[in-house]
Chains A and B, each alone.
Chain A
Amino acid sequence: MAKSVKKFIEGNNAIVDGAIAAGARFYAGYPISPSSEIAEGAAKELPRHGGVYIQMEDEISSMAALLGASLAGKKSFTATSGPGFSLMQENLGLGIMSEIPTVIFDVQRSGPSTGAATKPAQADIMQARYGVHGDHSIIALSPSSVQDCYDLTITAFNLAEKYRTPVLFMTDEVIGHLRETVTETVPAPSEIFNRVQPAPEMSQENFRPYGYSSNMPAPMPAVGDRKFLMRTTGSTHDEKGEFGPSPENINRVTHYLTDKIEKNVDDITITRKYNLDDAEVGFITFGCSVRSTMTAVDMLRAKGVKAGMLQIVTIWPMPEKEIRGVLSKVKTVVIPEMNLGQLAGEVRKFNDYGCKIIQANRTDGILITPQQILEKLEEM
C-alpha cells in the first residue's frame, strides 16, 4: 500500500511537498508575496533530499537557472506572483523553444504592477497563455484546494516531463494561504513520469535532441550523460539543435510547438463535474472561485433549481470539448472568476449554441462569495 500522511497545512506548503514527491531537486527563485512560503519550504526541504535551493538576483535569472538545472538532469521549479511572472516570460519562452521541462507556480495576486500585493486575484490567465511572444502553446493547471496543491503539483511535473515543456501552475493567494487537511500519498514509481531517454541501441551519430515527425518530443538525455551530447537553443533549430532559419523549418517548428500540446489535449485535460448531469443552469469556473461556486450550486439546488458546475483544472489548453458539452446542454452559463472576464471570453468563443453567458466577476482583492455569484444570476 502506498505510504500516505495526513497534514493540516497551507496550499503553498503542499506544493513543496508535492514537488519533492514528484522528484524535483532544484529551486531557483526570488521571494515575492504571496508565494514566499514555497521558497522557504524549498530552502528547508531540498538540501534534506540532496537537492539545491538558490535565491537568484531576479525572476529572469531564476527562470534561466531552472532551465539550466533541468537540462543537467534535475527536475526544477520556482514560485512567483504577478510582477515576477512578468519577468519570467522571457525565459519561459526559452524553455518552450528549447523544450526544457520545469514547473512555475504563480500564486496570483491583484495587479497590474505591484497592485495589491497580498490580495488574491485570478487575472494572470491570459498572461499564462499569451505572455510569451511568438506562437506557442502552454500547459497550465489551476488548483482549488490544498489537496490539489499536492496532487496536481505531481501532475504538473509529470506533464512537464512528458511533453518536455515548462508547465504553469496557476494558483492564487486564497488557495496558497488556505489551511486545510491534505492527505499526502507518496506516488508509486509508475505514477512518476520521467523524461524519455534515447533507446539503448541509439548511437551518438544517430541521436537528435529534437524531433518534428510526431506530436511528441524527442528523448532528452541530460547534459553530462556519458553517451550523448546535448544541444539546446532558443533559436529556431533543426533536429540537431542547430540554427535553422529556413522558411520551411520556421514554419515546421512553429506548428510543432503548438501541436505537441493542442493535439494532445485529451491527455492533458483535467476537468471536474459537480451536479452537472441534469443541470439547467451551468457554472464554469476554476481555482479559488470553485469553492464559492460549489456553495452557490448547493444553494440553488436547495431551492429546487437544477444547477451544476464544470471545474476547469487544466486551464490551458482550454478544454473546449468539455466547455462545449456544458454550453450545448444548458440555457444559462454563469462564469465566476476574480478578474474582469478572462475565462468568460474563452467560453464565448465556443458558444455556438445561443447559450446565455453571465459573468460574475470580483476584482477588489476579496474572495468572491456564493451570494455575489447568485446575485449576478438573479440580475439577469
Chain B
Amino acid sequence: MVTYKDYMLFDKLPHTWCAGCGDGIVLQSIAAVFAEMELDKHDICLVSGIGCFGRVDDYLDINCMHVTHGRALAAATGIALANPDLHVLVTMGDGDGTTIGGNHLIHCARRNINLTAIIANNYNYGQTGGQYSATTPVNSVTSTSPYGHVEQNFDICKLAEAAGAGYVARATAYNPIQMRKLIRGGIEHKGFSLIETMVACPTHYGRYNKQGEASRMMQLMNEQSISVEKAKSMTEKEREGRLITGLLVNKDRDDYYTKYKRIIDVLNTDRTEGK
C-alpha cells in the first residue's frame, strides 16, 4: 500500500521547524493526499517560495522548484502552462503568498491557472524572527509592531474569492483530516484552487501575544473555528474573529490553458486546411 512515506525524504528529518509549529502537519497532509490519490511522483511538481513553509520541498521526494520570496505562483504559472498534464502545487506562507507575493496571488486566481496553492498562515514572518505580515491581526504584537499592529489584515480566502478563485478552502492544523480532504479537493479541482491552512507559531506570534504554549494555541485555534455550515446561520457580528473552516468556494470555470489550447487548436486546424 502506498503511504505518505513514499513521497518523503527521510534523510532530511528532523525538520527545521520549531516544536509546536503547524507546518509539519500541513507537510504530512500533502504527502498523505499524494498517497491517497496514488499519484505518480513524476506527475507532481511542487513550487515553494521563501519562509518557514517554503522549506516544505526539502522533505518531499517529488519534482521541486524552490524559488525567490513571493514568486512561487509566478514560477508555477510557467510550469502549469508549459506542461498542463502536471499536478502543480505551490506552498507558501502568509508573507510569501499574500504580502510580497500578493499581486501574483490575485492575478494567478484571476487567470485561473490550473494549480493548487497551499498557504500556511501563522500570522507573521517566522523565519526572520516574527515580524508582521499582511495577515497579522490588527492590534496584535509582533517584533515590528511592538506597540500593537495598526494595519487591517487580509482575509486570504476572501481575497482569493474576490480575485476569481474557483476553489477556496480553509483548514486548521487542529483538524488534519479535514485538511487532507480539502487539499485533495484542491488538487482534483481543474483550475486555480487555494487552501488556507492555519498554523500556530508558538515561537514568535504566540509568545508576543501571550497565547501560551503550542498546545494552548492549537486549542485556541479550534475554539475560534466554525464550520461553513454553521457560519451561514450566524450574523456578521457573531462571525467576527472566528475562523470559518471547510470548503468556502467551489465553482467550475475553464482554466487558462483549456481556453488557450482552443486557440492553438483553431489556429493549427486552419493551417492544415491551408487557410
Contacts and interface: CB of A to CB of B under 8 A. Distances in A.
A72 B79 contact: yes
B82 A58 contact: no
A226 B42 contact: yes
A48 B268 contact: yes
A241 B63 CA distance: 11
A68 B64 contact: no
A28 B78 contact: yes
Interface in A58-76: 58, 60-62, 64-74, 76
Contact of A242 (B45, B58, B79): B58
A146 to B, nearest CB: 26
15 contacts: A48-B271, A50-B264, A50-B268, A54-B81, A57-B103, A64-B67, A64-B68, A64-B78, A67-B67, A67-B75, A68-B79, A72-B79, A94-B71, A226-B42, A229-B61
A232 interface: yes
A224 B264 contact: no
B187 interface: no
Given A48-B271, A91-B68, A230-B65, 20 more contacts: A25-B82, A54-B77, A56-B107, A58-B103, A61-B73, A61-B74, A61-B104, A66-B78, A68-B75, A68-B77, A68-B82, A69-B81, A72-B45, A72-B78, A72-B79, A98-B65, A223-B79, A229-B42, A230-B63, A231-B65
Contacts of B86: 72, 223-224
A9 interface: no
Nearest to A67: B75
A187 B62 CA distance: 36
Contacts of A241: 64
Nearest to B48: A233
Q: B interface, by DSSP: helix, strand, loop or mixed?
A: helix
A222 B58 CA distance: 19
Contacts of A73: 82-83
Identify the 8 closest CB pairs spanning chains A and B, nearest first: A68-B78, A61-B74, A65-B78, A64-B74, A69-B78, A72-B82, A233-B66, A69-B82
User: How many A residues touch the partner, as a band?
Assistant: 35 or more
Interface string A340-354: 000000000000000
A224 B45 contact: yes
Contacts of A243: 58
Interface in B4-19: 12
A225 B104 CA distance: 27
A152 B76 CA distance: 29
Interface in A337-374: none
Given A50-B264, A72-B45, A224 B81 contact: no
A224 B263 CA distance: 24
B199 to A, nearest CB: 21
Given A47-B267, A52-B260, A91-B68, A224 B78 contact: no
B263 A47 contact: yes
Contacts of B111: 54
Nearest to A56: B74
A28 B111 CA distance: 14
Contact of A47 (B57, B77, B83, B264): B264
A63 to B, nearest CB: 8
A329 to B, nearest CB: 46
A47 to B, nearest CB: 5
Contacts of A61: 71, 73-74, 77, 103-104, 107
